[in-house]
Structure 1
Amino acid sequence: MVDMLNLLIWNCRGAANKGVASVIRDMWSRYKLSLVIILEPRISGAQASKTIRQWGFKHSIRKEAVAFSGGIWLLWELDDLKVDVLELDEQVIHCNLRVGEDECLFSAVYASLSEHRRHDLWNLLSRLAGDIVVTWMLAGDFNDIKTPLEQVGGGRVNETRCKHFNNWIQDCNLIDVGAKGPFYTWKGPKWDGLERVYKRLDRCLCNVLWQEKFDKAEIQVVPRLCLDHHPLLVNLYGMEEGRRGRHFRYEAAWQMHEEFEQILTNSWKGEDEAHVKLTELQKTLTRWNKEVFGKIEGRKRRLLNRLHGIQRSVERRINPFLVNLEIKLEEELLHTLRQEEVLWFQKSRGRWLEEGDRNTRYYHMKTLCRRRRNKISMLKRDDGTWADEEVEISATFQRFYHKLFEEDRGVSMWTLTKQRWGMVNEAKLRNVGRDPNGDEIRRVFFQMGGFKAPGSDGYPAVFYQQNWRVVGRSMI
């Protein structure tokens, strides 16, 4: 969806409100929006049509407000963007978004304040979810929270209601995409005797297929201006990243290749220190991975295509050579699938792996969710403003740590304490001062989590554990 990059979803609580038009036009220009979803415009008919024209949109789909309440608008300018409505309801517009040959399902949600009607919406979306086998995203004001942590202030949270909302999300096999920026998306009223209430009512949900296809997508909570809801900005392809050299990371799947042991043995010859050998091995493995090992997905696809061709040929005429080649390719494909599983397991930093249980998709999704959770696309500066460009984020980190390590901390107060510590006897003192022996060093390496985060050299503990026979002597 090359042309459909940015979507804006906003419960503006009245499209005719003062300032709404200026905000829409500003965000349209600033974020280069492809599609704008307006919730609760509270106007309809001729007034709605006039407002949309004044905002500058050529195309629109509307579910009209009823008696100045509710309503959902989809607004866009590009002729290339095709929006096919599949379900038009007071609480959701469910449609197919298409640009050229690329498409995905999208549901613009404005859930009712009425619990009974909101359950009608959950039932409708559950019915739709049961038939969906393509990418699907839902975004809008769900008027519910998943956990008490999504509310601060106001009255007591209805935890039963939270549970029902969570159950619905899980039953539909949906994922909360999360968002960058302010956590609470709605500022409520302040009642007597209570603090002002803030809630996370606006969110984006998606199915697994959407998460896999748009794994770099980012949701940003845009600053709220005057009104009580924050707009949500959806960038399907994420923040543009600068070209940076990729750090070396040892892949455990390399160990399963027939050439790996010879590469390691050749790199470990000689009397150089371990860190020199590891550096040279990095260079060799990086080159070998590019030229020989390659991308597993491409290798898997080639093997499947060759198998498909052979199996079609064998159906027409038995050929002993092709029969033997089929067996060989099947074995190679199974080996490749196992490598793929190990690759994604390592990237997901999972804690268990049952032999023979190829659950690659689980590890893939775990990795994508962790990557999305850990990615920093906005960072708050000391003055309270936000850095959202990669260069600015990097500079903000550098300034923080430069200031942190430059500060003069003075005399540490623990040196002034009157606390007296017990004496260490001579035998223990000698033991503390001695060098660790080979068995102790080996034991430390094998007690580490094999797939935990690697050191600065890119080698996790599993590298040493699997290759101790070759590298162990250099580590002692």
Structure 2
Amino acid sequence: MIVASWNCRGAGNRCFPRTVKDIVYKLQIDVLCLMETRISGTRADGVIRKLGFSNWIRLEASGFARGIWVLWNEDSMHVDYICSSTQIIHCKIVDVKHNESFFATFVYGETSPQKRIPLWLSLKAIAEATEEAWLVIGDFNTFLDTTDKMGGSLANHGAMENFADCIREVELFALPIEGEKFTIIVVNDGQRTPQGKYSKRLFRYQSAWSLEESFKEVVYSSWDNVEWCEGARKFEKAALSWNDTVVGNIMKKKKQVIHRLEGIDRVRQNNVNGCNGETGTPNSSMLPLRYSTEDNELKRFKMIMGTGSRTRRS
């Protein structure tokens, strides 16, 4: 059985359902908890129905913050709701295939140390009432050791002590980490501005890349015999470099193609207006031989950019 949690930082993106389905399929997840979904009500219901799960428990988001979803398929798992608060969902999970059960508390802690105090009290109360196996999983918005954090603001040692005290009192222990310790990737091209600060270059995958044969080698070489996160970092750097040298500026290329096609259309219109003989057929010898090639190129760029053309068709 695999139970997973993910702070998705918003579930409203139209690509989100497909992303979740891919993760669930690849990792064979049985119970999934999504945190900080930032949507609620009928919109949340609509997104959840696209994720491929038959059952769910939802803790509503507060405005554009918070939100906890627990999702599973009833044919293989039973999840019985017990209680919840603004920071937890507590339930009992039964593995139907193996006839095993345990308690699980899914956590999304407040960002403020003061507001996390009710979370520690809730966990202590649950511990006193629980004698069976108990899993606590999620995002506590704090950590036990400074090595568990990379970058950002300085560590709040008082908040760390509160977390450690709670873990010790309820007699929980941390599961060992396998694979990458940090899974959040920030892309930075390493260039400094005149003010001495690093400038960030956001990474965006371009559909045009998949049309280039040489792009396959960029993908293969990035993930060759490395962990996924390390491969992702290598891919981002390699793809940006490859894009600069091979693809170039797609919008600029598109404008150039459209400009050429507009000129070709003007020639075609003139030829149509000056027909040969009584049949009314245009003088084909006057038509640009490059028209077919240019038209295919325009179609390629229309597919890439998802926009219409300003050129006319007779």
The whole-number CA distance in structure 1 between the counterparts of 2:19 and 2:142 is 26
Q: Does structure 1 residue 89 correspond to structure 2 residue 72? A: no
Q: Does structure 1 residue 162 correspond to structure 2 residue 160? A: yes
In the comparison of the two structures, how many residue pairs are matched? 200
Indicate the residue corresponding to 1:113 in structure 2.
Answer: 111
Alignment RMSD, CA only? 2.9
The whole-number CA distance in structure 1 between the counterparts of 2:154 and 2:61 is 31
Indicate the residue corresponding to 2:227 in structure 1.
Answer: 386
Q: Determine which of 53, 67, 70 is the counterpart of 2:66.
A: 70
Q: Does structure 1 residue 146 correspond to structure 2 residue 144? A: yes
1:128 Cα deviation after fit: 0.9
Q: Does structure 1 residue 52 correspond to structure 2 residue 48? A: yes
The whole-number CA distance in structure 2 between the counterparts of 1:194 and 1:105 is 48
Tell me the secondary structure at the aligned position of residue 154 of structure 1: coil
- Residues 70, 187 of structure 1: alpha-carbon distance in 2 compared, 3 angstrom cutoff: farther
Asked if structure 1 preserves the Cα contact closer than 8 Å seen for 2:143 and 2:160, the reply is: yes
- Relative contact order, CA 8 A, sep 6+: which one is greater? 1
Q: Does structure 1 residue 9 correspond to structure 2 residue 5? A: yes
- Residues 85, 135 of structure 1: alpha-carbon distance in 2 compared, 3 angstrom cutoff: same
Asked if structure 2 preserves the Cα contact closer than 8 Å seen for 1:34 and 1:78, the reply is: no
Indicate the residue corresponding to 2:251 in structure 1.
Answer: none
The whole-number CA distance in structure 1 between the counterparts of 2:124 and 2:182 is 26
1:8 Cα deviation after fit: 2.3
The whole-number CA distance in structure 1 between the counterparts of 2:155 and 2:196 is 16
Matched ranges for 1:197-276 at <5 A: none
- Residues 82, 15 of structure 1: alpha-carbon distance in 2 compared, 3 angstrom cutoff: same
1:42-77 CA distance string (max 9 Å, x none): 111111111111222211111111112111101112
1:186-210 CA distance string (max 9 Å, x none): 56899x98999xxxxxxxxxxxxxx
The whole-number CA distance in structure 2 between the counterparts of 1:116 and 1:384 is 45
The whole-number CA distance in structure 2 between the counterparts of 1:188 and 1:109 is 25
The whole-number CA distance in structure 2 between the counterparts of 1:45 and 1:95 is 22
1:160 Cα deviation after fit: 2.3
Tell me the secondary structure at the aligned position of residue 179 of structure 2: coil
Asked if structure 2 preserves the Cα contact closer than 8 Å seen for 1:111 and 1:141, the reply is: yes
The whole-number CA distance in structure 2 between the counterparts of 1:50 and 1:383 is 38
Q: Does structure 1 residue 29 correspond to structure 2 residue 25? A: yes
Q: Determine which of 127, 130, 139 is the counterpart of 2:128.
A: 130
- The share of aligned pairs that are identical, in percent, is 29
TM-score by length of 1: 0.39
Indicate the residue corresponding to 1:39 in structure 2.
Answer: 35
Tell me the secondary structure at the aligned position of residue 64 of structure 2: coil
1:367-409 CA distance string (max 9 Å, x none): xxxxxxxxxxxxxx9956139xxxxxxxxxxxxxxxxxxxxxx
Displaced runs of 4+ in structure 1, greater than 6 A?
192-196
1:152 Cα deviation after fit: 2.7
Code of the aligned partner of 1:166: A
The whole-number CA distance in structure 1 between the counterparts of 2:76 and 2:65 is 32
- Residues 164, 53 of structure 1: alpha-carbon distance in 2 compared, 3 angstrom cutoff: same
Asked if structure 1 preserves the Cα contact closer than 8 Å seen for 2:113 and 2:159, the reply is: no
The whole-number CA distance in structure 2 between the counterparts of 1:93 and 1:193 is 45
Code of the aligned partner of 1:77: N
Indicate the residue corresponding to 2:304 in structure 1.
Answer: none
Asked if structure 1 preserves the Cα contact closer than 8 Å seen for 2:180 and 2:227, the reply is: no
Indicate the residue corresponding to 1:250 in structure 2.
Answer: none
- Residues 58, 81 of structure 1: alpha-carbon distance in 2 compared, 3 angstrom cutoff: same
1:18 Cα deviation after fit: 4.7
Gaps of 5+ in 1: 197-224, 227-380, 388-476
Gaps of 5+ in 2: 189-194, 205-221, 229-314
The whole-number CA distance in structure 1 between the counterparts of 2:132 and 2:168 is 18
Asked if structure 2 preserves the Cα contact closer than 8 Å seen for 1:41 and 1:65, the reply is: yes
1:211-234 CA distance string (max 9 Å, x none): xxxxxxxxxxxxxx99xxxxxxxx
TM-score by length of 2: 0.58
